Structure formats: C-alpha cells, structure tokens
Structure 1
Amino acid sequence: MPHPAPIYILASRCPSCGAAKSRASVTAYVYCDFCGALADYDFRRACEQPQQMPGPVYRNLVAALQKKTAAALAAGDRSAHRELQVKIYEAWVDACPSAVPPRVRDAEYRRAYIANLADAGTFAAFDPESIALSERMNAAVTKLQWEAGTIGKPARVRAGSFEPVLETVLASLDHALSDAVQAQISPQPDAASPALQKRMAQAMFVQGWLPYLDEASAHKLLDRTGLAQEYLSVAPVEGKGGICGHCQAPIAILPGARRSVCDRCGHQLRLDRPLTCDGCGSVLLLDGGGAAVNCPSCQRRIERIAVPFTWPGVAT
C-alpha cells in the first residue's frame, strides 16, 4: 500500500498553548489544532491564490460615502465617522472573503472583527501621529521610480526607491499596535498579540508588493519583515473523525486537542465536548453554546446532557 504523500506546513508553535502545528492550514490564517487560537499567518498559502479585488459594489459604496466621511472628519464627529467605517468594512468583508479570517462566517466573530477595524480606522483618521505617517506614506509612494514592464511581466520598482515605503509601513505598524493605541480600540476578536498582528499585516503588505520588486529587493523585503519562513515536510496526521455541527464539514480531532476552528464555517469548535446523534450516529462538534441542536446530517433534535463522552472502543 503506497504511503500518503508528504505535506508542507509552516514551522510554527501556538503562542497560546505552545503546541506545534500538525496539519496544513486551508487558509492563510493558521489556527492551532489543539486550542483553536489564532497562531500564525501562512505567507506562502496567501501567495498561492491571486489577490482578490473588492469589486464594483464595494467601490461604489466607498465613493458614495466619501462626502459623508469628509464631513464627519471636518466636524470632528468620531461617532458618525465610525458608523461609516462599519458600513465600509462590512462591504469589504463580503467583497473579499479570502482576505479575512475564515471565522468571519461566524456572526458574533464577524461583528467583533468589523468593530475592531472600524475603531482602528476611526482612531487613525483623527490621530495626529497617524495622519503624519499617512502623509509620509503618500510622499514615499509618489517618489517611487518604476521600470517599464515587458510582455508577460509587470512593471517593477527600481531598486532603492522602495525602501522609504517599507520603513514608513513598519513605523505605521509600530504606532498602530502600540499599547497606547490598542487601549483605545475594541479588542482583536482572536485576542492576537501585537506581535502576531504585525506579522500578519506585514505579510499582507509583502504579498501585494512582491510581484513588483526585483529578486534582490524581494529577498531583502522578506528578510526585513521576517517572512523568509521555513516549512516542514511531514506525513499527514490522522485523527478521530467528527463533523462540524454547524456546516457538516469533516473535522480531524488530534489526540489531546480541545478546540479547533472549522475552515468552512468559521466556528471555533469544542473538540472535548462532542455530541453523538442517536438518529444517524454522527459525532457532532459544536461551539459550546446552547442546550440543544439539530443534527446537520439528519435534522434530529439533540439535547445536551451532562454525561461525559467517550470515543467508541476507548476504555474509560
């Protein structure tokens, strides 16, 4: 019998529980296989998919709200500005699903995610240092020098002219993720540390600019941002099989795992509290909320009872 082909996973450990990544992440957002915490951002995975553009619905909404946004800024009305930011980010999440965490499919998480972005955007719009950094960024981008592209190859930034843009981005991230600024906005819904948020923001920035840089500048950018990561070749990890009680996606439960994030619907599932449907026998994994649930496979109503679950064939 042939052995399964090896897979490559980002060599990282969960900052919350310390567990090593054991399964390849379906998305660029890497969630821990054992505790379900946001653990890393897989830059290589992000680059495997073409960048997704927002589309006309999003662009038309932003254009329609520009005058209102400008009026809120001129009046110093932070509340009105934040309401507009919420509308813009709601549209952006819908327009670019591959650019956001898979957990945005969970309504509660989505609200918290958009609130965090709206708060950050509003703070930056009124904060003098953020405004100065934005002006510095605009000036750096204006001074970029470009070399014409050829057939099949895009135009490239001339070596040396990109560094001021990079330095401004890093300075902006340091300011935005400082304790003083973070204390004034709603929490990041995954409780990601400033260091992890910076890593993710840098990865998104690098992904956007990498195609326009020469090889030497690209390597320098990856080294400067710490994204020249190592990937390990591992055999596929098998676990006990369950299904997501919200969307029916198959879920592999690794030994010792307590929580995991469903890549399809975004719910953070309790792996240590599964339910067995007495109608079809499915092992259901849920987010821990509610006292009853309809089985997604056979629609039988199942009520939670305080009886410990054991996997078939496992002695207690």
Structure 2
Amino acid sequence: VRTNFCFPCLFEYNSSKDSNYNRKDTLKLLYKGGIFESNPNFTLDNLKPLTTDPEPLYSGKQIFSTLFPNDLNIRVKSKFCKKCDVCQELDCLYDAYVTIKNGELVTGTIDENSFGAMQSNSILQRIIKDHGNARGREFLDNATKMLLYVIRQNGMTMGLDEVFVKGDAFKAIRNVLDEAKKESKQLIIAFYNNDTNILKRAPGRSMRETLELRIRQVLAEARKEAEELAAHFIGDEAHSVIMTKSGARGNILNLGQMSAVVGQQAIRGEIPNILRSISFIFLSRSIISIGVNLREPL
C-alpha cells in the first residue's frame, strides 16, 4: 500500500505573487511541512525575506520550495495560462509559467498540471522517478500537511457574488446568446426552404438530423464563449475560479452554467421530439423550457 499513493488528488497551494507570510506563519508552515525534522540543520536564516520593513515577509514560493529536492528542475504551463500569441515564459504577467530551478520555485502557480499525480511531468512523478517511492511519499505527506494548514488559515469557499455577472459582461454574454439564437433561426428557415447554400446536408445524415447537428454546434460555441466571458469577468482571484482552473473541484462548465448560461440540453446527444419521464409526458417539444412544436432555443 505504501507504494500505491499516486492517486489523482490535487492540493491547491496559494503560490501566487501576492502570497506572503510573516515570520510566525512561515515557521508554522515549515514545521507543518516537516522541514526541521527532515533537515535538522535548516533554519529560517536559510530563506532570504522579500522585505524587512516593517517586518520580515517570506513568499509562498520560498516556503513551498523547501519541500523540493535540490536537483529538481521543471518547466510547465499551469492551467491559468491565457494562451497568449507569444509566450513570455518567465516574464508571464499572469504567473502561469511554472519554473523550478535547482529545487527552487522561481515562477508560476502550482496547480494540477504541475502537481497532479496523473501528470507525466509533474513534481510528484519527477521526485518518484529520480529519488524513489519513499522520497515521493515523504514529499506528498509533508506537502499535504503544509497545504491543509494554509487552507485552514485562509479558507476556500465561494458565494453567490462570485458567480453573479453584471454590467458590460452581462451585455456581452447577452449579445453572444442573441447572435446564436439568430443563427439558429436562419438554419431553421433554411431547412424549411430547402436552402442548401446555408444548410448543407451532412454525410450520412438526413436534413433534419443535419439541422439538429448544426444547431447544437452553434449553441455549444455560444455557451463556451459565454463561459469564457463570465470567467474573465469574475477574475482569477475568485475562489470559484481557483477551484475550477486548478483542478481541485468542478470545471469551467459548472461555473459557466451558474454565472452565464445553462446551455442547450440534449438527451443522448440529440434534441428529441418527445421526452417521457416517470410522471410527465411532453409531446411535440424537446425539453420543458421549449414550447410545443418549436425547434429553436429560447
């Protein structure tokens, strides 16, 4: 059992640029991480404080780096990557490029891409590969204790204010959905008018099946764009976005459904004409929210 610890569990660590700790909290984190036990010669003087005025402050990157072997070197993009046209790597404005050099976390935010057990080039996998299972288990245990202390101190939760979109973001989402509805209506009109210039029959599909396929495609793209707009408006500092992007809990689809749009519902990948449930029968409609004999989304 001791060697079977590579389970897909993620510990979200606040290793952002704004994560700083005073002397007291730093000592507690080092103690929780077993640093003094594994390295009796280690003292707080080994870490250079970011600032000493009005008191010494140490970064989360410095503290978390004490868990790494000195020969650990990794470069990987985190899930907070904005996919810029030209990657700035070490100079990333979003701190989304994880760089570990000689056992020191230089840049980046730790998330599933760099810490996940199922990632081939993650910190955990590299430690196991280079130093064996025992060292990997020690790192995982110490990191867990340290991160649990951070979560207990700072908390990790979300409220309705983190999924409430308003102002310009709401207008942008509404415009995206209106355009999708307009395009869906054009496809429906083309279907009834047999306009093959707008609605070309897909190979192996009837015209009605092609219509459903195209409408689902249009609505899926609109939902995805609305999700991205909502996530951008909420911001990366919100706990809901941190949990979804880091891989801790949920995904961007859940966040988009709560803050932007639920999206077109389908059964077995299709919008059926008849939906039967245990106690209700809906005739000539696809789902409850769509009127009788209507194919277009609301």
Same-fold call, TM > 0.5? no
The structure, 1 or 2, with the larger RCO (C-alpha pairs under 8 Å, 6+ apart) is 1
Higher fraction of strand? 1
TM bracket (short chain): under 0.3
- TM-score for the superposition, normalised by structure 1: 0.23
